[in-house]
Chains A and B, each alone.
Chain A
Amino acid sequence: MLLISCPWCGEREETEFHYGGQAFVAYPADPESLSDEEWAQYVFFRDNPKGAFAERWVHSAGCRRWFNTVRDTVTNEFQS
């Protein structure tokens, strides 16, 4: 069980959260101009690093707010 620090509520158990995957994946600024390859990258491709990973969580059973954090995908240690 991960202990996750919500920026607004403090440390809470993982079961209060839902995972949102990679952080900072912006919706395309000019969607009509995207090629199929670019759409595929946006829709289906995400980074999958072994190590530091910027990711999103939502405190769904708490304040219900989204936040970004950096976690090590080997040790599970939160770095921010």
Chain B
Amino acid sequence: MEHPDWLWRTPEPRRSYDVIIVGAGGHGLATAYYLARNHGITNVAVLEKGWLAGGNMARNTTIIRSNYLWDESAAIYEHALKLWEGLQEDLEYDFLFSQRGVLNLAHTLQDVREGTRRVNANRLNGIDGEWLTPDEVAKVCPIVDVSPDVRYPVLGGTWQPRAGIAKHDYVAWAFARKADRYGVDLIQGCEVTGFITDGDRVTGVRTNRGPIHAGRIGLAAAGHTSVLASTLGIRLPLQSHPLQALVSELLEPVHPTVVMSNHVHVYVSQAHKGELVMGAGIDSYNSYGQRGSVHVIEQQMAAALELFPIFANAHLIRTWGGIVDVTPDASPIIGRTPVENLFVNCGWGTGGFKATPGVGWVFAHTLAHGEPHALNEPFTLERFTTGALIDEHGAAAVAH
């Protein structure tokens, strides 16, 4: 039997490129695609130490939304959501983008105040959002227990109808296929071990497959960004933590939307195939091992059962972990570094998937022009010195 056509080539690395992107996850692939599509820069390599989209792109819970509190965040996430809305046509690939909405539940007075404030902030930024009463929550998602006699009763929730999910692997493959057709080299099994420098600028990378030169280099390596940057003596305000998720067996459709709860700390949707997909918060300790502690899974399942009594009949099939790079203000760092020609896109913590096309767009701009796009200008490394933080901790329904 013949192998079906590959979606991309498997080229040998050339000796030099205009731009090298480190990390072939969603962000790296989207960046390569928009470098070619928006800026005509196609002499590009995306270097991946493992296999394409095998890191956090393979491990996330695929939630897409833009209901962030602060203007800077709302702008970049809404830019991403608008791109998602036309992306299947643009990439000519059906990756099961489904705008089934997201409910962010409130269980305390503080949650209610935070949620109503966020809805108002979102609407001022032109982002769809509504405050729902418990009865309205039950209409949107009938399997949520909104009765008053549970430990943390549902007092209401925010509702973003345009939010949703997509099939994460297909998204990566769609970007990879298009980038490859533009001539971008996607090189798997190519680990960057250090950089080639000339004075205070980078001129290339050292890899397990030899040195490769580049005009500009962009890091899109998530949890491993600190490790790469440290080879140049660059210190970043990142801490790498495990983030776990889990799925149930395949079930008939029972869950029509995406439900998130910060207070009991779980987020859950039902994939097209039928698995319930759940995630929780990060494990507390720094780690690069792609696994976490079982009590975190136990807590997230307890939270899910509290909200969805019907899940008592479901079985846990699989859990896994990815390594997320967390910043002190729960916002990403996208832009210049102290080293010329080296740019970072990192610090997305637990919420990078939803931003995939948006960050590809602005990071491509940053790499093409050597300076940030207006949308990533606030997300500098310098903000930790100037104090211009974009503090989404607790502000943005931040369980991603």
Contact = CB atoms under 8 A, between A and B. Distances in A.
B108 interface: no
Interface stretch (B152-160, B168-176, B232-240): B232-240
A21 B224 contact: no
A8 B252 CA distance: 52
Contacts of A12: none
What DSSP secondary structure best describes chain A's contact surface? mixed
Report the interface size class on chain A: 20 to 34
B240 A48 contact: yes
B6 interface: no
Contact of A1 (B237, B289, B295): B295
A40 B240 contact: no
Contacts of B288: 50, 73-74
A18 B285 CA distance: 9
Contacts of A75: 289
Contacts of A76: 287, 289
A36 interface: yes
A32 interface: no
Contacts of A46: 237, 239
B74 to A, nearest CB: 23
A28 to B, nearest CB: 15
B193 interface: no
Contacts of A2: 285, 293
A74 B294 CA distance: 17
Given A21-B239, A53-B286, A73-B288, A48 B293 contact: no
A55 B294 contact: no
A73 B237 contact: no
A18 B240 CA distance: 17
Interface of B: 224, 226-227, 230, 235-240, 284-289, 293-295, 325, 328, 384-386
14 contacts: A1-B294, A2-B285, A13-B295, A14-B293, A14-B295, A18-B284, A36-B385, A36-B386, A40-B237, A46-B237, A47-B235, A48-B286, A55-B285, A75-B289
